Structure 1
Amino acid sequence: MTSRPNIAKRPPKATAAQNPAAHPLADEVRPGQSVELLKELHILTREGKLNQDSRRKLKQVYHLYQFIEKLMLELPAAEGRALTLADHGAGKSYLGFILYDLYFKNLPTSHLYGIETRTELVDKSRALAQQLGFGRMSFLNVSVAESTQSAALPDQIDVVTALHACDTATDDAIAFGLQKKARAFVLVPCCQAEVARHLSQSKALSLTRTPLAELWRHPLHTREMGSQITNVLRCLYLEAHGYQVTVTELVGWEHSMKNELILARYTGQRKRAAAQRLRAILEEFGLLALLDTRFTLPEDNLEDNALPA
């Protein structure tokens, strides 16, 4: 009777759970990222696969996350206080959940707040946070403007985000952050119509007799000009309130025309020159009424003892 050859058994292949690098999405999904979350957000299919559209969406989210992570890592340590972030116009809370999964869940005393007006989206986000065990996520069913008065939010918020918050909601998020003494802003403005309306009404009185009036003669140009002026004013406004501002692209223009990313970090040095330029632009374009609403300047920026630019 012949004996069977002694064939050594091959070691079993490492599973994704045992070795994250063995996961078929290892090159796409960040270490420690919850695959269950990505499925619930419909970034991954139920089979755990990633199609081309989802791959592009995931890269965009990670790209934005890198900006926010860098800002949060640069914040001075808050002694005895949790790191807090308020995400305005949260929608389905893609950004909030990714931020929590990759960053906040590793900070035991941190808290992330999602602010959204659509009740059904708030309910879904609350249910998903509970399902995933994301206990330090809260969702408020209020507008950005109403959130400044909400007792559910702490007196101070470290980071304020607002992605594609339409028209004046971005300005409301800035007002919220200033009231809450935010240490950083991450803003992707969208659909700025307020300044365009003012331009249409006043036609920038001081410029109507110059060739510059051609910049808003056609309605489409008025809208685009209004968006550009609005974001310039927002940057000057933040600088006047003591923030260092950087403006960059969020993603390639081929993906979205609403692509301007405004990053602001608090330094405490209020720039009088920024306040003066803001006022001059408002005056030049016949928009001085906005000084009493959207762009109220700090008093010390208008006095002789203001900090130099």
Structure 2
Amino acid sequence: MLAELRPGQSIELLQELHILTREGRLNQDSRRKLKQVYHLYQFIEPLLAEVSQGGHVPLLADHGAGKSYLGFILYDLFFKQLGRGEIYGIEWRAELVQRSRELAAQLGFERMRFFDMSVADAAAAAQLPERFDIVTALHACDTATDDAIAFGLQKQARAMVLVPCCQAEVAACLRQSKALALSRTPLAELWRHPIHTRELGSQITNVLRCLHLEASGYQVTVTELVGWEHSLKNELILARWTGTKKRSAAERLGAILEEFGLRHSLSARFGLTT
């Protein structure tokens, strides 16, 4: 067995996901992909073990699932051995959802469910459970990460694991108010040039998300998913429910929106009234 693989891991699964070749080999791109998923698994596995205590049946929602690499690996390494619990993969591209359903049936992964819908629509979907224990969103683009957070809040998730991607909304808002901001504060030089607008917008977005989660009763840890040589979209936000809603986080969230001229356009997205 290849040194990179975990004991008991399904070779058939890795071949179907094109992580392993039919000859059972890894190429450089696959090795990088496998390392990223394993690294994320190291963060999620302790959360799953915790919520599974006492015979609890863990439910996990994977938003923006794509080809469901993460969901299949989680099922193979954790849910299969546990013998209970379900994974719900949510993806808007119908052809990927159908392929995932076929692969789950082929492998006998009976407790995997796949739904063709957007992240934004998932919270109101009648076919999904009222509560989830863990919500993941790996590279859910732009506001889909915020939709995943809103989903997790509504479903009273005990933990959320988020790797944001392509944060464009805040940058667009910064561009709209750039002239006014330049006349008001020298700090607007931080986003005067387009490339800086994009980078700062991405940074602000994730800071606002963390404050939103803290204000909503979660303890938040931010780290990198894997080394920067593997992925430029590399920030991992790990939120665990504590029930302690930080008023100071809500106040700072409002202050940042105000400072950057974003309050009117983004207050509702981050749980604040205008």
Per the shorter chain, which TM-score range? over 0.9
- CA deviation after TM superposition for structure 1 residue 47, in Å: 1.1
* Contact 2:257 2:267 (8 Å CA) reproduced: no
Paired amino acid for 1:282? L
* Contact 1:215 1:221 (8 Å CA) reproduced: yes
Which residue is equivalent to 1:38? Answer: 14
Which residue is equivalent to 1:52? Answer: 28
In structure 1, the gaps of 5 or more residues are 1-22, 300-309
Paired amino acid for 1:259? N
Q: 2:105 aligns with which of 100, 123, 130?
A: 130
**How big is each residue's C-alpha offset from its partner over 1:112-131, in whole Å with a ceiling of 9 and x where there is no partner?**
00000111100100000000
Which residue is equivalent to 2:80? Answer: 105
Partners of 1:206 and 1:216 lie apart in 2 by 10
Which residue is equivalent to 2:66? Answer: 91
Which residue is equivalent to 1:65? Answer: 41
Which sits farther off after the overlay, 247-256 or 125-134?
247-256
Paired amino acid for 1:223? R
Which residue is equivalent to 1:11? Answer: none
- CA deviation after TM superposition for structure 1 residue 106, in Å: 2.0
Paired amino acid for 1:113? Y
Comparing both chains, which one has the higher relative contact order based on Cα–Cα distances under 8 Å and sequence gaps of 6 or more? 2
**How big is each residue's C-alpha offset from its partner over 1:124-166, in whole Å with a ceiling of 9 and x where there is no partner?**
0000000000000000000000101111210000100001111
- Tell me: CA distance 1:76–1:119, structure 2 relative to 1, closer, same or farther (3 Å): closer
Paired amino acid for 1:264? A
Paired amino acid for 1:267? T
**How big is each residue's C-alpha offset from its partner over 1:19-54, in whole Å with a ceiling of 9 and x where there is no partner?**
xxxx3x1x2110111011000000111111122222
Residue 258 of structure 2 aligns to a residue whose secondary structure is helix
Which residue is equivalent to 1:221? Answer: 196
What CA RMSD, in Å, does the superposition of the two structures yield over aligned residues?
Answer: 1.6
Partners of 1:211 and 1:105 lie apart in 2 by 56
- CA deviation after TM superposition for structure 1 residue 177, in Å: 0.4
- CA deviation after TM superposition for structure 1 residue 237, in Å: 0.3
Partners of 2:85 and 2:52 lie apart in 1 by 15
Alignment pair present for 1:262 and 2:217: no
* Contact 1:115 1:143 (8 Å CA) reproduced: yes
- TM normalised by structure 1 equals 0.85
- CA deviation after TM superposition for structure 1 residue 76, in Å: 7.1
- TM normalised by structure 2 equals 0.95
- CA deviation after TM superposition for structure 1 residue 270, in Å: 0.4
- CA deviation after TM superposition for structure 1 residue 290, in Å: 4.3
Q: 1:157 aligns with which of 107, 132, 145?
A: 132
Partners of 1:33 and 1:95 lie apart in 2 by 14
Q: 1:211 aligns with which of 162, 169, 186?
A: 186
Which sits farther off after the overlay, 201-210 or 100-109?
201-210
**How big is each residue's C-alpha offset from its partner over 1:86-125, in whole Å with a ceiling of 9 and x where there is no partner?**
0000000000000000011123330000000111100100
* Contact 1:204 1:286 (8 Å CA) reproduced: no
* Contact 1:33 1:101 (8 Å CA) reproduced: yes
Which residue is equivalent to 1:173? Answer: 148
* Contact 1:89 1:115 (8 Å CA) reproduced: yes
Larger radius of gyration: 1
Q: Between Structure 1 and Structure 2, how many residues are aligned?
A: 273
- CA deviation after TM superposition for structure 1 residue 202, in Å: 1.6
**How big is each residue's C-alpha offset from its partner over 1:39-79, in whole Å with a ceiling of 9 and x where there is no partner?**
000011111112222222211111111011122233473x6
**How big is each residue's C-alpha offset from its partner over 1:199-239, in whole Å with a ceiling of 9 and x where there is no partner?**
11122856643321111111111111110000000000000
* Contact 1:160 1:173 (8 Å CA) reproduced: yes
Residue 60 of structure 2 aligns to a residue whose secondary structure is strand
Residue 103 of structure 1 aligns to a residue whose secondary structure is helix
